[in-house]
C-alpha cells in the first residue's frame, strides 16, 4: 500500500505519520526532509537548493522528481511509501502518476488531516506560553497555513474525484486520530 498524507503545519501530521510507519511497517518519504538533508550533508544538490529552500520557495519539479524516483524505483520501498509534502501541485501529481505506472504501483489512500486555523493558532499560543518564546511564530504560522491550504487545494480535489480521499478530523486527541487512521488502513 502507498499513501499520501496532507495536513497544514501544526496539524500533527508528523506524529500521525510516525504512528502509521510503525504500525503498518511503511516508510515515510518527506521530500522536505530529504531536501534538508542534502543541504546538511553539503552535497552538490544541497548547494544548488539551499537558497531556494531558505527563501521559502518551492524547489523545481524536476529536482523533486529525481528524488522521488529514487524511492519509488527502490524495491525496498515498493508499495510501502507514505508521501509527505509531495505532490504539491498538479504537475507533480502527473509526474507521480507516471512514476507509479513505470514501477507498477499506485496510490491506495490519501489522508487529509483537517484542523482549523483557530485551533492551530491556539496550539501555537499555548506552546509560546509554555516555552516563553516571544518570536512572531504565530503570524508566520497563519501565513504558512493559508499558503498550504491554497496550494494543496487542487491536488486534494484531484484525489477526491478519484475517491481516494479520507478527511480526518484533526481536532481530536492523538489517540482518537490514531484509531481512525488505523481503522481506515486496515480496511484497505
Residue number with CB closer to ligand AMP (50 or 178): 50
Residue number with CB closer to ligand AMP (55 or 75): 55
Distance, in Å, from the CA atom of 159 to the CA atom of 134, rounded to the nearest integer, reads: 39
Task: Give CA 164 to chain center in angstroms.
Answer: 16
Distance, in Å, from the CA atom of 55 to the CA atom of 81, rounded to the nearest integer, reads: 28
> Shortest gap between Cβ of 59 and ligand AMP (angstroms)?
4
Buried b (16+ CB within 10 A) or exposed e, 124-140: beeeeeeeeeeeebeee
Residue number with CB closer to ligand AMP (123 or 144): 144
> Shortest gap between Cβ of 85 and ligand AMP (angstroms)?
3
Which residues of this protein are in contact with ligand AMP, per CB under 6 A?
31-32, 35, 52-53, 56-59, 64, 85-86, 88, 92
Residue number with CB closer to ligand AMP (139 or 176): 139
Residue number with CB closer to ligand AMP (32 or 188): 32
> Shortest gap between Cβ of 37 and ligand AMP (angstroms)?
11
Closest residue to ligand AMP, based on beta-carbon distance:
32
End-to-end CA distance of the chain: 8
> Shortest gap between Cβ of 58 and ligand AMP (angstroms)?
4
Q: In this structure, how many other beta carbons lie within 10 angstroms of the beta carbon of residue 58?
A: 13
> How does DSSP classify residue 77?
G
State how far the alpha carbon of 163 is from the alpha carbons of 5, 109, 158, in Å: 15, 9, 9
> Shortest gap between Cβ of 171 and ligand AMP (angstroms)?
22
Amino acid at each position: 500500500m502507498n499513501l499520501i498524507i496532507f495536513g497544514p503545519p501544526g496539524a500533527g501530521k508528523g506524529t500521525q505519520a510516525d504512528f502509521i510507519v510503525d504500525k503498518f511497517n511503511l516508510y515515510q518519504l518527506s521530500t522536505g526532509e530529504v531536501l534538508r538533508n542534502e543541504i546538511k550533508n553539503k552535497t552538490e544538490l544541497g548547494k544548488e537548493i539551499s537558497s531556494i529552500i531558505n527563501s521559502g520557495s518551492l524547489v523545481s519539479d524536476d529536482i523533486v522528481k529525481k528524488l522521488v524516483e529514487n524511492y519509488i524505483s527502490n524495491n525496498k520501498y515498493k508499495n510501502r511509501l507514505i508521501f509527505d509534502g509531495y505532490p504539491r501541485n498538479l504537475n507533480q501529481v502527473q509526474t507521480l502518476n507516471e512514476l507509479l505506472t513505470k514501477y507498477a504501483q499506485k496510490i491506495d489512500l490519501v489522508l487529509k488531516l483537517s484542523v482549523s486555523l483557530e485551533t492551530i493558532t491556539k496550539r501555537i499560543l499555548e506552546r509560546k506560553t509554555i516555552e516563553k518564546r516571544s518570536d512572531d511564530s504565530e503570524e508566520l504560522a497563519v501565513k504558512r497555513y493559508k499558503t498550504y491550504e491554497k496550494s494543496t487545494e487542487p491536488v486534494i480535489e484531484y484525489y477526491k474525484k478519484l475517491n481516494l480521499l479520507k478527511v480526518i478530523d484533526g481536532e481530536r486527541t492523538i489517540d482518537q486520530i490514531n484509531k481512525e487512521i488505523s481503522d481506515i488502513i486496515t480496511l484497505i
